[in-house]
Structure 1
Amino acid sequence: MSQQQNSYVELPRIKRKSNSWEGKVIDYLLNHPSNRSATEFAIEAITAFWLAEALEGQVNQPELQKACWSAIEKLEAKLATIRRIGGIEKLLPDYTTVLSPSPSTVNPTTKTNENSREFSNDLHLSTDEDEDDEDDEDDVDWIVDIKPSEEMKQISRLFGIE
């Protein structure tokens, strides 16, 4: 007969300079109007962000999917709040990105359907047979001139990329 003991794990205390972004976040959580504990806010954020990786290979597939959906819902809700506070519109999938082909490599492709505005993530496997295809006159059809949307330009400016 095995006895199950309660065991705990602990995250050490977090200390940051009060004038840093992280310090301002900690101060905000410590003085949150809801009077909810900063620890609860922190564990909620950490769990949503890292749950999928923490459970991968540790639980069965249905439980993993349930956990992933829970994390996705929380993160998407937080993204909506961040966009609202920052006055940032939702990123629209109005672009196509294709990585350049090379023999025997996987080339992730992100495409959008003009009508449905849904993403399809297709993986295309380049093989040596592709290289020998003499019927293909459009060997450069993978080149795409990407024009960043206004939102992408804003994000680039926010991160100092121009």
Structure 2
Amino acid sequence: MPNFESFELKLRIKRSKQQAEGKLLDYLLHHPTISSTEAVLSACRAYWMPLAMIKAGEENPAVLREVGWSAILDLEKQIQLIKRVLQLEETTSIPASSVPVVPVESVEAIAYPTVTTEQLPTPEDLDDELGVNDFD
């Protein structure tokens, strides 16, 4: 039997229930049809999977194309759902001043930011605005 290496990520996030992010977490924890774990993974897959596959060295164009289109379709589906639920009209436009212009040479820096350990905060630095340290 093959020995498959697994990966476990334990994520703890704490926000005030009055904050928008707190309302988001409550929504995910109490969603009637999907577990909070699957909801988070689904969002991460759509938003980050193509970049993760490239960074991991995936070279198969068919796999990359499938992962890319899957992410795009999931994001477009979510865009349509948000428009429908919030009754946003198609003619509504975003002011040009609020749309960031990203030079082509910056795309790799955005997709693969370089972080050194000196830049990472310590757990003590990560107290949220309530003054509660999320790390035990």
My pick for the range that moved more, 22-31 or 81-90, is 81-90
Name the structure with the higher helix share.
Answer: 2
C-alpha distance in structure 2 between counterparts of 1:45 and 1:24, whole Å: 17
* Residue number in structure 2 paired with 1:15: 14
RMSD after superposition: 2.2
Amino acid in the other structure paired with 1:43: L
C-alpha distance in structure 2 between counterparts of 1:66 and 1:5, whole Å: 24
Percent identity among equivalent residues?
A: 35
Shift of 1:8: 1.1
* Residue number in structure 2 paired with 1:151: 93
Amino acid in the other structure paired with 1:48: A
C-alpha distance in structure 2 between counterparts of 1:79 and 1:54, whole Å: 22
Larger Rg: 1
The runs of at least 4 aligned residues of structure 1 exceeding 3 Å deviation read none
* Residue number in structure 1 paired with 2:49: 51
* Residue number in structure 1 paired with 2:72: 72
Q: Does 1:38 align with 2:36?
A: yes
Q: Is the 8 A contact 1:88 1:151 kept in 2?
A: no
Task: Give the paired residue count.
Answer: 94
Amino acid in the other structure paired with 1:22: E
TM-score (ref. length: structure 1): 0.51
Structure 1 gap ranges (5+): 92-149, 157-162
C-alpha distance in structure 2 between counterparts of 1:12 and 1:152, whole Å: 34
Shift of 1:11: 4.3
Amino acid in the other structure paired with 1:32: H
Name the structure with the higher strand share.
Answer: 1
Q: Bigger relative contact order, structure 1 or 2, given CA contacts below 8 A and separation 6+? A: 2
Query: 1:1-162, aligned counterparts within 5 Å?
Result: 4-34=3-33, 36-57=34-55, 58-59=57-58, 60-90=60-90, 150-153=92-95
* Residue number in structure 1 paired with 2:125: none
Shift of 1:90: 3.1
C-alpha distance in structure 2 between counterparts of 1:37 and 1:16, whole Å: 19
